[in-house]
Amino acid sequence: MIESREDYNKHYKHSVDNPRKYWQEYSKNFMWKNSPEKILSWNFNDPDIKWFEDGTLNITENIFERNIKNKDDTAIIWEANNPSESNKEYTYSELFDEVCTFANVLKKNGVEKGDRVIIYLPMIPEAAISMLACARIGAVHSVVFAGFSANSLSDRINDCSAKVVITSDGNFRGSKVINVKGVVDEALKNSDCVKNVLTVMRTGSDIDMVKGRDLWYHEESKLVDNICTAEEMTSEDLLFILYTSGSTGKPKGVVHTCAGYMLYAQFTFENVFQYSRGDTYWCTADVGWITGHSYIVYGPLLTGAKTILFEGVPTYPDASRFWKVIDKYKVNQFYTAPTAIRALQSYGEKFIRDSDLSSLKVIGSVGEPINEEAWNWYNDNVGKNNCPIVDTWWQTETGGIMISPLPNIIDCKPTYATLPLPGIQPVLLDNQGNEILENNVEGNLCIKYPWPSILRTTYGDHNRCRETYFSTFKGYYFTGDGARRDENGYYRILGRVDDVINVSGHRIGTAEVEDAINLNKEVIESAVVGFPHEIKGQGIFGFIIIKESEKEIDYFSSIRETVNKYIGPIAKPDQILIVPGLPKTRSGKIMRRILRKIASNQFDNFGDISTLLNPDIVEKIISNYKKLSK
């Protein structure tokens, strides 16, 4: 673990001067079936990246068998949605039993190494257990956030030809009960690859079970034992696929492989949170996102940490829930998203005033830029001016945290993710692809050398991986983010430079939302852009051309419902504006920067609009906007 600023400097220099040696040394902390000798081979043009290629291992052995001394330590504390329901705790050895049992149920139902398994579960212990069970037997898990619609779920099931779906009868979320299994049933009408649906009982809801296809987990688990030897995996075998939105087309399956991901998840967890044995750590993300993968499940469990898995929402039963949970378990490291901070701030201090929170040592932020006001509120009210805030920048594709302060080692600066972790070589490029060497500049954030958990491909479509990440700037991994570097070399992330909107820390591609909106039968064409939103960071603004109609139609509700159906509630537009046309170039491309300005209530400095086919449309859109905002 890095312990001081000098230590960081030493680590960083070593990791850049001799990356192979640096990661080879770190790899010795792990349990290999075959130790690797070939450390790294790579080219970013194909891309073709291999870490520890000739090594073999199983990540779950590195959680359970490697840390055998910790077997009676608590691994997971599960806190239920409803505070009056008792929690559950698992020691490492209890968790190990559960994982092996689950793995044996999968095996019994024909799941083999390399098969894809979709996990569509609420935040219950089985979410983590089933991920680890897949890893134990070498099956590839793909967790789908349980807020996605049937349509989004079936797209993902079909894209990876999943053999099994793991779900639950229902989901307690705040005061609601959500019929998760019903969504799976609906999704499977459009999928024929799935042989079985393994259903965990959670809510006791009345659900349909399809004979021959659907199985109750609690019944299956009685038929197997809890001994399961770990499958031997090569370093570059697939560990998981996680779907994420991009600027074009449908979500793509980001692929992570076994060894590199494992190393980097542990490395970043222990350094960024400065976790010591006995600490209690809590990340509020959902396992359906990369943050849940790397920093609820893999990073903490590889480190032997005590990690909290929280089923509920920040505002149930009221807006003091997070603070109560922190006090209840004396949480030492707390990791959440700016959108949650802003939402809780908006409820006022009375919900946090009576909380003690003195157990906290480090507080973290992830998923979107944290604005200065939210940063200060977090620092004053949660950290009590006494906890470093780790503003961690990273992505689904990077697998782990890339740029972040290290608590009490690298000084924090509000809104800055600060310095790269060892092994990470960020650069800023101008639009022509030249590296900008000075400080106090802005540019496209790229990374110029591979790190162990860089994505390897996009599932089933390697070309898309190359086009999206490795073609814009030849020889670099392009993040899609813009960044600023200050006089000390600190990075501040400015947000996406592509057509991706970051809504409450969730990535949503504009094309995806437009495709959904266009399925509404009243719609001819649409364009969506992000606009500043007080709580969500960015909201979704839709400019819509509709068919002529005699009827009175509530377009706002109708369009939101369509998006809800095809993607899920997170992608519902916050505002829509009916327009007579869209600003297009002669080649038919929508000039989104104009729409972005209008949606942000700015009506000048549109830049060069001489290539517009229909410049008059801009005035018409502005006039409709002004009518709407009146």
**Binding residues vs ligand WTA (CB under 6 A):** 244, 289-291, 365-369, 391-396, 417, 479-481, 493, 495-496, 502, 507
Q: Which is nearer to ligand WTA, 170 or 364 (CB)?
A: 364
* DSSP β-bridge partners for residue 393: 403
Q: Which is nearer to ligand WTA, 156 or 163 (CB)?
A: 156
Task: Give me the least distance between CB of 394 and ligand WTA, in Å please.
Answer: 5
Task: Give me the least distance between CB of 289 and ligand WTA, in Å please.
Answer: 6
Task: Give me the least distance between CB of 297 and ligand WTA, in Å please.
Answer: 14
Task: Give me the least distance between CB of 17 and ligand WTA, in Å please.
Answer: 27
Q: Which is nearer to ligand WTA, 194 or 529 (CB)?
A: 529
Q: Cα(555)–Cα(575) distance, rounded to whole angstroms?
A: 11
* DSSP β-bridge partners for residue 309: 78
Q: Which is nearer to ligand WTA, 197 or 309 (CB)?
A: 309
Which pairs with CB-CB distance under 8 Å and at least 24 residues apart come from 595-598?
Answer: 595/527, 595/529, 595/541, 595/543, 595/621, 596/529, 596/530, 596/531, 598/622, 598/625
Task: Give me the least distance between CB of 522 and ligand WTA, in Å please.
Answer: 32
Q: Which is nearer to ligand WTA, 182 or 495 (CB)?
A: 495
Task: Give me the least distance between CB of 245 and ligand WTA, in Å please.
Answer: 9
Q: What is the DSSP string of 435-449?
A: BP-SSSEEEEEEE-S
Are residues 178 and 149 in contact, defined by beta-carbon separation less than 8 angstroms?
no
Task: Give me the least distance between CB of 299 and ligand WTA, in Å please.
Answer: 12
Task: Give me the least distance between CB of 57 and ligand WTA, in Å please.
Answer: 25
What 3-state DSSP class applies to 309?
A: strand
Of the candidates 494, 464, 467, which has an alpha carbon nearest to the alpha carbon of residue 482?
494
CA-derived radius of gyration, the chain: 24
Of the candidates 535, 543, 536, which has an alpha carbon nearest to the alpha carbon of residue 503?
536
Q: Cα(29)–Cα(270) distance, rounded to whole angstroms?
A: 13
Q: Which is nearer to ligand WTA, 292 or 304 (CB)?
A: 292
Token pair of 246 as six digits:
């991009």
Are residues 265 and 400 in contact, defined by beta-carbon separation less than 8 angstroms?
yes
Q: Which is nearer to ligand WTA, 235 or 468 (CB)?
A: 468
Q: Which is nearer to ligand WTA, 58 or 479 (CB)?
A: 479
Q: What is the DSSP string of 266-283?
A: HHHHHHHHT--TT-EEEE
Torsion angle in degrees (nearest 10) through CA of 391, 393, 396, 397: -160
Q: Which is nearer to ligand WTA, 153 or 366 (CB)?
A: 366
Task: Give me the least distance between CB of 530 and ligand WTA, in Å please.
Answer: 11
What 3-state DSSP class applies to 555?
A: helix
Q: Which is nearer to ligand WTA, 66 or 464 (CB)?
A: 464
Are residues 117 and 134 in contact, defined by beta-carbon separation less than 8 angstroms?
yes
Q: Cα(13)–Cα(223) distance, rounded to whole angstroms?
A: 54
Task: Give me the least distance between CB of 129 and ligand WTA, in Å please.
Answer: 23
What 3-state DSSP class applies to 240?
A: strand
* DSSP β-bridge partners for residue 585: 612
